[in-house]
């Protein structure tokens, strides 16, 4: 024989409210974890693509500061004085394409050239 037990509706309401609150907190925590993971993945992919095959910049002009631009080219490429000078002088005929390890280094090169009065562009 089964027995009928009265149900405390107040207790059920509290349990239901607690379950909903817990579900919301779990969703929020998972959302933050996924956002963090996604940001990390996107950053990793971006870094991988920026490093894939290197990056290029065109040196288009040395402006009034030929010697300073030669120093910059030497500093970023590791070339000797003669080779760096030839590259810089070649810009009077046409833009010269220079390869770098990644986009960050290429961007720094372009910035430094422009700050010294020359002109360079990222490819």
Q: Are residues 105 and 73 in the same domain?
A: yes
Pick 39 or 23 by higher pLDDT: 23
Is 116 contained in some domain? yes
Predicted pLDDT at 79: 92
Q: Please answer whether residues 119 and 113 qualify as being in contact, where contact means their C-beta atoms are separated by less than 8 angstroms.
A: yes
Percent of the chain at pLDDT exceeding 70: 57
Same domain, 113 and 57: yes
Give the pTM.
Answer: 0.58
Asked if residue 2 belongs to a domain, the reply is no
Note the pLDDT of residue 6: 55
Give 2's pLDDT tier (boundaries 50, 70, 90): very low
Q: Which domain holds residue 22?
A: 8-52
Identify whether residues 65 and 100 lie together within a single domain.
yes
- Quote the pLDDT of residue 54: 74
Q: Both 41 and 63 in a single domain?
A: no
- The reply to whether 44 and 73 lie within a common domain is no
DSSP string covering 53-90, please? T-EEEEEEE-TT-HHHHHHHHHHHH---HHHHHHHHHH
Q: Could you tell me which residues come within 8 angstroms of residue 60 by beta carbon, excluding any fewer than 6 positions away? A: 91, 95, 118, 119, 120, 121
Q: Residues 9-25: what's their mean pLDDT?
A: 66
- Per-residue model confidence (pLDDT) at position 28: 67
The verdict on 61 and 109 lying in the same domain is yes
Tell me which of 59 and 33 has the higher pLDDT. 59
List 34's β-bridge partners, or say none: none
Handedness of CA 75, 98, 113, 111 (dihedral sign): negative
CATH code, 85: 3.30.1390.10
pLDDT value of residue 105: 92
């Amino acid at each position: 024989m089964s027995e009928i037990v009265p149900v405390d509706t107040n207790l059920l309401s509290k349990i239901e409210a607690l379950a909903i609150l817990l579900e919301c907190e779990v969703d929020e925590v998972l959302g933050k974890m996924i956002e963090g993971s996604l940001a990390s993945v996107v950053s990793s992919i971006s870094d991988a693509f920026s490093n894939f095959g290197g990056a290029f910049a065109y040196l288009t002009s040395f402006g009034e500061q030929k010697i300073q631009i030669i120093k910059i080219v030497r500093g970023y490429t590791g070339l000797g004085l003669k080779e760096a000078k030839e590259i810089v002088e070649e810009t009077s005929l046409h833009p010269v394409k220079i390869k770098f390890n990644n986009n960050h280094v290429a961007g720094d090169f372009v910035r430094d050239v422009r700050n010294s009065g020359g002109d360079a562009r990222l490819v």
